[in-house]
Chains A and B, each alone.
Chain A
Amino acid sequence: MIRALATFVFVALASLPARAIEIQQITSPGGIKAWLVEDHSIPFTALSLMFKGGASLDAPEKRGAISMMTALLEEGSGEMNSVQYAEAVEGLGAITRFDAGDDALTVNARALTENRDQAADLLRQALTEPRFDPDAVERIRAQIQSVIRSEATDPNAIANKELARQAWGDHPYATSVNGTAESIAAITRDDLLDAKNRILARDRVVVAAAGDIDAAELGKLIDRILGGLPEAGSVPLPEPAKLQLTGGVTVIDWDSPQTVVSFAQPGLPMSDPDYFAAFVADHILGGGGFSSRLMDQIREKRGLTYGVATGLSNGVYGETWMGGMASANQKVAEAIGLIRQEWDRFGEAPVSEKELNDAKTYLTGEYPLRFNGNGQIASILAGMQLIGLPADYVNTRNSKIEAVTAEDVQRVAKRLLHSDQIRFVLVGRPEGIEATN
């Protein structure tokens, strides 16, 4: 009864008329492209800027410089010192967040319609005329050093760092965007200017906006914000990273009742014809929260963990299939055994029709729920441009998931899911499991 009804639900969802969002693709008078979703119901605009390359554009000996430079963008520019700049932004009720990640330097901004142009002028000033005043530089340097110290005592950060170090060789992906205590200590004002010139340029930026603004207004706004940036970044974009991960177990001693586990194996790029089959496979295996096989085996049936999850981790310059978990020191070996067992079992038989249908209805049904609010929409549209997806991806993406068959899922699982390729990094005092090389 329930199964039959679930099938009914699936059919109904597939035939729902999508309330599609309308993405306008515009080019500003100054020649900068942007995507826009207009919605005038709330008097504000959300703007998302992503500068390609992110912290991976750091110079080899200057790891952390781009992240540090990014933190300093809101610490004084033009005629304003850090306090004066912050007072000006706060006085408009505007919100601007700067963040340097592996793949992009991201600026997420919100501004009220009534003073949008003034907010834009402040953002232009931050991006084009940062001052890097000595007192602000030293203050931010000390705060970054504090973050680096905190990460060195956080078992999750320790596990992820070690996994990245083993995975990515001499690519920037292998090291923290924050840099090291030594590299941060040595960064000079010239390094910060160099970092800025590497990334803050018009040929690096993708732009998306959503909210109370029309195409003509947005065109003027982005010229106002970005027009003063150099035309091109001073160095080429990062090279693709080459995955060097080997299967095995790494144990890092950490005095805690629980062992934190991060693991990864080779993934596949979004351009791979089997990407969506792998996406569906991952949902059934470990990506689907309470519905996944790993959650069922490890948490629901045995209570070995509070949570276990996997995901396809697709960066612009490299990809893995990864996961994480925490489990008591005495039980973590059993939990890892179950991960390996489910990993290898996955390709041996096709997934059931119910698993496949449930995965598809979730993955296709959840997608439109993401476009919920101006802030979310601007961020998603900028992210799509960053990884090179076309605007009509929002309309074609679900049909690619619908087209995946149980045979596709099994094929990609056989090709990719092999537990002897997984590198497990364990941070804790695990019992009954030994480190390999």
Chain B
Amino acid sequence: MTILTRLSPFVLALAATPALAEMPKGISHFTLDNGLEAVVIEDHRAPVVVQMVWYKIGSADEQPGKSGIAHYLEHLMFKGTDKLGPGELSKTVTANGGMDNAFTSYDYTAYFQRIASDRLPLVMEMESDRMQNLRIGEDDWQAERQVVLEERSQRTDSDPGAQFSEERSAVQFYNHPYGRPVIGWRQEMEGLTRDDAIAWYDAHYAPNDAVLIIAGDVTAEQAKELAEKYYGPVPSKPDATRKARPQEPEQRADRRIERSDPRVAQPVLVRTTLAPERNAGDQKQAAALSVLAELLAGSPQTSVLARDLVLTGKALYVDAAYDGLTVDPTTFGLSLVPGPGVSNEDAEAALDAALQKFLEDGPDTQQLERVKTQIRASRIYAQDSAHGRAYDYGQGLSIGLGIEDVNDWPDILGAVTADEVRAAAKLVLDNPASVTGWLLPEAGAASADAATTIPAAATTEEVQ
């Protein structure tokens, strides 16, 4: 019963200043003897701190037939330990004026608390406790399985766009587990058990498979001392680290899918191509792809596709999406809503023509310069949020980047050349092996009904 007792003030070990490599201002980094890697992001403007623990394990590491177990375990991590009752961790955080939550992705599972900085020892004690002492009660695991099924109903099954996204991923990734939804397929979620969850926890939750981020009103020395005190005693597990996953074979054919749903208001095109991810010591191609996405659709007025498609009325919206923070190859995506009176075929042909033109002309020098200016500015604005920077480092380290890769990323982005953008464009745009999906309304369907039966009324103001 000592879980809440260690609220004594920080004891500063004056001799124990961590050795710091060349780091950006306010960033420090260390690794405990048990393998826990930690990053401290100092921001003393407000008495607030964020603790995040990222486990380098996610849904793409699941065995076939057990989809959803990574996310289900994330929910069960709130069900208590030897010292904490079910739900008590969150209630304790809340009663101390903080908030907490967790999230699961293909490549990682993360837990965080945001709280007054003098409460940091409390949340570190509780988080380190559930790194090794999880207990899941008989009633809790069954009710929580219903909760994740309701979550699937809410996020996916009630949203034709989210359902279609599952279809597109399954078609894009024939062999790699990125083709399975993070939340799991319903029929497999229904069969998940406490034993499955505990096996997953026992195999993968260990300090040598985790990244600790402390961001906010804390010094590097304080953070290191607290990390050693609370996480230092947690034993490592030699086999906890992620195994290689099945990789995609070469895609040789264009793949096309189409779905109609009465809940869809207007046609949407989404096209994806496999694309390289950010890798340790090797981020230039990913940087060029990031700049490419910005050039193509980053601005609703000045980007390539906005000028060629939106300003001309051929499309209502365009978007380009690339996120290189993944373990294995990811996708470069384009999406579009046709303009009023423009057929789907004509809109897609106009997209193809615009991309072809960009492949021939390459980036406009002035536009590239403006994008660089925005990258430089966003680096300054990013310092306004320690919480946001905690995500950058947590996500980067949990997909296998080193601290210097995350540190260097803004410089690498800023150094992207026009030739590198051309090469990136050729890689992902001049590639017949893509997946093109059209999500369509049903002819004469619900949107018209809804427009007549549902009187237009205000979205009620936000809950306070």
Contact = CB atoms under 8 A, between A and B. Distances in A.
Interface string A15-43: 01001000000000000000000010111
B95 A358 contact: yes
Interface string B443-455: 0001100110111
B464 A313 contact: yes
A98 interface: no
B158 A260 contact: yes
B31 interface: no
Contact of B154 (A8, A102, A306, A315): A306
Interface string B425-459: 00000000000000000000011001101111111
A313 B48 contact: no
Given A257-B157, A302-B143, A303-B144, A92 B454 contact: no
Nearest to B454: A158
Contact of A369 (B1, B48, B148): B48
Looking at B78, B151, B369, B460, the one whose CB has the most chain A CB atoms below 10 A away is B460
B316 interface: yes
Interface string B43-65: 00111100000000000000000
Interface stretch (A173-181, A191-199, A227-235, A411-419): A173-181
Given A44-B380, A143-B317, A368-B46, A92 B373 contact: yes
Contact of B46 (A19, A138, A290): A19
Contact of B45 (A1, A41, A296): A41
A149 interface: yes
12 contacts: A9-B96, A74-B301, A86-B299, A112-B377, A149-B265, A157-B459, A160-B460, A260-B158, A323-B463, A365-B96, A366-B97, A373-B385
Nearest to A288: B94
A361 B153 contact: no
Contacts of A314: 464
A173 B453 CA distance: 19
Interface in A325-383: 326-328, 357-358, 361-369, 371-375
A44 B48 CA distance: 21
Nearest to A43: B380
A85 interface: yes
B380 A9 contact: no
Contact of B374 (A39, A90, A155, A301): A90
A278 to B, nearest CB: 11
Nearest to A309: B463
A258 B457 contact: no
Interface string A134-168: 01001100110110111011010110111111011
A291 interface: yes
Contacts, number: 295
A78 interface: no
Contact of B381 (A9, A13, A95, A364): A95
Interface stretch (B111-119, B204-212, B238-246, B412-420): B111-119
The 9 closest A-B pairs by CB, nearest first: A365-B97, A93-B377, A303-B146, A311-B463, A165-B457, A86-B301, A161-B457, A358-B95, A303-B143
Given A91-B370, A290-B90, 15 more contacts: A13-B97, A93-B377, A102-B461, A149-B265, A153-B447, A153-B450, A160-B459, A164-B460, A174-B457, A303-B142, A306-B153, A312-B463, A369-B46, A372-B385, A375-B385
- Interface size classification for chain B: 35 or more
A258 B154 contact: yes
B17 interface: no
A313 B95 contact: no
A411 B144 CA distance: 35
Contacts of B357: none
B380 A373 contact: no
Given A256-B157, A365-B116, A42 B310 contact: no
Contacts of A179: 456
B7 interface: yes
Contact of B458 (A93, A164, A288, A368): A164
A407 B119 CA distance: 30
A289 B456 contact: no
B457 A162 contact: yes
Contacts of A255: 262-263, 446
Contact of A152 (B87, B377, B381, B447): B447
Interface string B128-165: 00000000000000111111111101110110000000
Contacts of A288: 94
B150 A258 contact: yes
B266 interface: yes
B447 A149 contact: yes
Given A142-B339, A153-B450, A168 B458 contact: yes
B231 to A, nearest CB: 22
A320 to B, nearest CB: 7
Contact of A146 (B266, B302, B459): B266
B464 A167 contact: no
Nearest to B378: A93
A314 B99 CA distance: 23
Contact of B95 (A82, A260, A312, A361): A361
Given A102-B458, A163-B460, A257 B153 contact: yes
B102 to A, nearest CB: 11
A83 interface: yes
Contacts of B377: 44, 92-95, 112
Contact of B98 (A1, A44, A369): A369
Contacts of B118: 16
A304 interface: yes
Interface string B286-303: 000000000000011110
Interface in A266-318: 287-291, 296, 299-307, 309-315
A372 B311 CA distance: 38
B307 interface: yes
Given A157-B459, A300-B87, A305-B150, A42 B266 contact: no
B4 interface: yes
A2 interface: yes
B337 interface: yes
A334 to B, nearest CB: 12
A403 interface: no
B94 A291 contact: yes
B46 A372 contact: yes
Nearest to A252: B454
Given A142-B340, A181-B451, A164 B457 contact: yes
Given A257-B153, A315-B461, A365-B97, A19 B91 contact: no
Contacts of A1: 1
